[in-house]
């Protein structure tokens, strides 16, 4: 099969659609996590997702002989439960958010690996879910992704004002009459949905990169929430689709390739931004000197 035929094969088209949708949706929710100072929440939920994948894998093998039938639904349920636990621990004050995330980091991936190892012949395929895979995206996965992405975009863009208010200053949001607890639960839930959407292409270990790095890059050059979200979505789409196509030639992990591209874009943007600010400062200083010391 030629590269052209492979690019337009049903398998590759499904993967490209999912990559495009992930690039659009992940940075939207990531922008609220960054604003709240919980950038690692995506990592925590990603580790928890592996337990859901394992449960779905075992259920599929036992019930239908198809190990992938229930992986996404089970991962989605477990992700939501894990995200709600993280939010409950954070808001209750029983322990710090970092401690709760660390416990879920280790517990999630340990339980996932343990459960998958209980089913003979499945451990070798664990990398598909850890780092993503082009060949494992099914029609059902694609339609799950379409539905979840539509919901994430409606919530992330439609409720931009109150979500930003809650993540930026809870005290002000509460004084403004917003239902803080409801929006906090909504943020946690959408973060879990984002992980479930992205894990097929990016993998559970690198899913947080799609949520956080595009936002961090956009913040270097943007000065409003709306512009930051728009630019981060563009970065997410370009990096996810490009990374997926590059893996065809290098036979690399798509998740790792996408993460490397994101980091390279961030580094290049940071360098250009620093040079621009330095030159702008020099021009400003020269203009100020010229005004204060006219010839």
Per-residue pLDDT at 228 exceeds 90: yes
In degrees and rounded to multiples of 5, residue 164 shows phi and psi of -65, -40
> What CATH number should be reported for the domain holding residue 118?
1.10.3470.10
What is the reported pLDDT for 153? 92
**Domain assignment of residue 263, yes or no:** no
**Domain assignment of residue 114, yes or no:** yes
**Domain assignment of residue 256, yes or no:** no
Sign of CA dihedral 269, 271, 276, 278: positive
Q: Tens of pLDDT along 196-210?
A: 888 877 887 788 889
Question: Where is pLDDT greater, at 172 or 268?
Answer: 268
**Domain assignment of residue 219, yes or no:** no
Per the structure, the complete domain to which residue 118 belongs is given by 3-208
CA angle (254, 188, 199) in 5-degree steps? 15
Question: Where is pLDDT greater, at 68 or 88?
Answer: 88
Query: Which pairs count as long-range contacts for 237-243, CB under 8 Å and 24+ apart, including other chains?
Result: 237/20, 237/23, 237/24, 238/23, 239/23, 239/214, 239/265, 240/19, 240/20, 240/22, 240/23, 240/201, 240/202, 240/210, 241/16, 241/19, 241/20, 241/23, 243/19
Q: Tens of pLDDT along 7-32?
A: 667 777 888 888 899 899 999 999 99
Write the burial class of residue 113 (CB in 10 Å: 0-12 exposed, 13-18 middle, 19+ buried). middle
Q: Cα–chain-centroid distance for residue 267?
A: 19
pTM listed for this prediction: 0.84
Tell me the pLDDT band of 231, cut-offs 50, 70 and 90.
very high
């Amino acid at each position: 099969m030629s590269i052209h035929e492979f690019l337009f094969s049903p398998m590759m088209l499904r993967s490209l659609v999912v990559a495009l949708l992930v690039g659009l949706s992940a940075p939207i929710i990531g922008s609220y996590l960054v604003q709240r100072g919980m950038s690692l929440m995506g990592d925590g939920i990603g580790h928890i997702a592996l337990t859901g994948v394992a449960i779905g894998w075992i259920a599929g093998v036992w019930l239908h002989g198809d190990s992938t039938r229930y992986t996404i639904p089970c991962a989605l349920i477990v992700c939501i439960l894990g995200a709600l636990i993280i939010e409950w621990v954070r808001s209750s004050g029983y322990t710090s958010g970092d401690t709760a995330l660390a416990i879920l980091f280790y517990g999630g991936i340990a339980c996932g690996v343990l459960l998958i190892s209980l089913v003979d012949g499945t451990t070798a395929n664990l990398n598909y879910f850890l780092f993503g895979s082009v060949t494992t995206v099914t029609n059902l996965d694609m339609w799950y992704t379409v539905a979840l992405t539509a919901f994430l975009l409606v919530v992330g863009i439609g409720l931009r004002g109150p979500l930003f208010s809650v993540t930026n200053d809870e005290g002000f949001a509460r004084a403004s009459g917003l239902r803080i607890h409801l929006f906090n639960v909504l943020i946690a839930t959408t973060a879990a949905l984002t992980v479930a959407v992205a894990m097929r292409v990016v993998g559970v270990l690198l899913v947080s990169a799609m949520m956080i790095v595009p936002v961090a890059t956009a913040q270097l050059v943007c000065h409003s929430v709306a512009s930051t979200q728009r630019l981060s979505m563009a970065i997410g789409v370009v990096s996810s689709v490009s990374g997926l196509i590059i893996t065809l030639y290098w036979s690399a992990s798509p998740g790792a390739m996408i993460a490397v591209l994101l980091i390279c874009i961030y580094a290049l943007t940071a360098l250009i931004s620093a040079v621009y600010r330095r030159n702008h400062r020099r021009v400003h200083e020269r203009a100020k000197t010229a005004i204060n010391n006219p010839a």
